[in-house]
Each structure stands twice: as C-alpha cells, then as structure tokens.
A and B are shown apart, each in its own frame.
Chain A
C-alpha cells in the first residue's frame, strides 16, 4: 500500500460526458502528479501540482483540467470524453521539495480505470 488513494477504481461512461477522478496523496505530501496510461501511449505525464499551485504541465488535453485543494487532495476533470480517453489514470505524490524535487521518490496509487463507450 503506497498510501495514495484514488477513487473511483473503475468508471464506465459515454462519449461526450464529464468525469472527475479524485486523488488523496500520502499524508503530508505536497506534490501531486497525474499520469495517463493507455495501451498505445504508455505512461504519459499530464500535470503536477505543488502545495496548491500548478508546477508542471505535460501532455494534458485542453478538455482536461486539474486542481489541488487546500487539504492537498487533487481532482482531475475530464470533459467531452472521447473513446480514446479510455485509459488508466494514475496519481502519484511526493514529499520532496526545493532542491530535492528531482531526487525524491514518487508514490503511485492503484489507478482509476476509465472506459468510454
């Protein structure tokens, strides 16, 4: 158990719909990362938040958005869903900050599996 909790574990929805994925980081971890894993694209970095602020952006579509709340949990919002958005979405957290950001360990949740029909 990594200590990172993601809900829901599974989600089935239809094209055009909107869903919200939730992530609770390990207690005290300030950084939250979101990743998408599909069969043909591998693990893709989407976005990172640090203590409520966006820190880095990766291959995140404009239809997707995220935020980190004052209690440090994070939500990833996916809208106007397409078939190609079907994937596993992972959240990770890290305690590292400042000069240790690039050395610290990331802890990953078990993922939310999204199926768009």
Chain B
C-alpha cells in the first residue's frame, strides 16, 4: 500500500470548519483512501472512505483531488469531541483488509 503524508498537528476553533490534508502522491488506481480517527483513550474509529469522487456522510466529507494525489477530510463544524488523531490510510486491491497506520494528524479544538 502506498504511503501518505499528513501534518503532525492542527488547531481549530469550536464550531468552525476544519480541513485536514493528506498527500499520497504514489497512489495507484485501485487504492481506496480511508480516514480513521482515534479519540483519547479509545480505539480507532472509521470516519469515511472514497476512491475518486467526493464523499459525504454524517461525520465528515472527503474531497479527493482530480489527480488523486491528495485528499482533504472536512469536518464542517468542529466540536470539542472531534479532538483526536486523524489517520489517512490507503488500501489497495491486494490488501488483505488490514490498516497500516502512519503518525496521523493530532487535531486540537479550542473552545
């Protein structure tokens, strides 16, 4: 699976939108882009995933660049509960299902 690059940390104010970037310049055509997050003292939880088109769900939106070499996770209105480590992960068709976590982005939300 190809590698991703994320900023180590980001800050946001409560109730403002947050854009978490991820670079994956070596992504292959069959790689899905997955986002997970890990709240303090909890296991990781699924946020969203996509292949080519932008995706929305109740938690967030995923904007995928046209060349697929980068993507952005968008939290529309950050809450204090969104403070977590966010992981951008690529999974290819040869992947057995496992997730390989990088260092992720630690998001701090200020009241």
Contacts and interface: CB of A to CB of B under 8 A. Distances in A.
Interface residues of B, number: 24
Given A102-B92, A103-B49, A103-B91, A96 B97 contact: yes
Main secondary structure of the interface of B (DSSP, over half): loop
Interface in A88-108: 90, 92, 94, 96, 99, 101-108
A64 to B, nearest CB: 16
A33 B18 CA distance: 31
Contacts, number: 72
Interface of B: 32, 36, 38, 42-46, 49, 87, 91-104
15 contacts: A2-B43, A31-B97, A35-B101, A43-B44, A44-B101, A50-B96, A55-B97, A90-B43, A92-B99, A96-B97, A101-B96, A102-B32, A106-B97, A109-B43, A111-B42
A108 B45 contact: yes
Given A101-B95, A107-B46, 16 more contacts: A2-B43, A42-B103, A43-B38, A43-B44, A44-B101, A45-B100, A48-B96, A56-B96, A101-B96, A101-B97, A102-B32, A102-B93, A102-B97, A105-B49, A108-B43, A109-B43
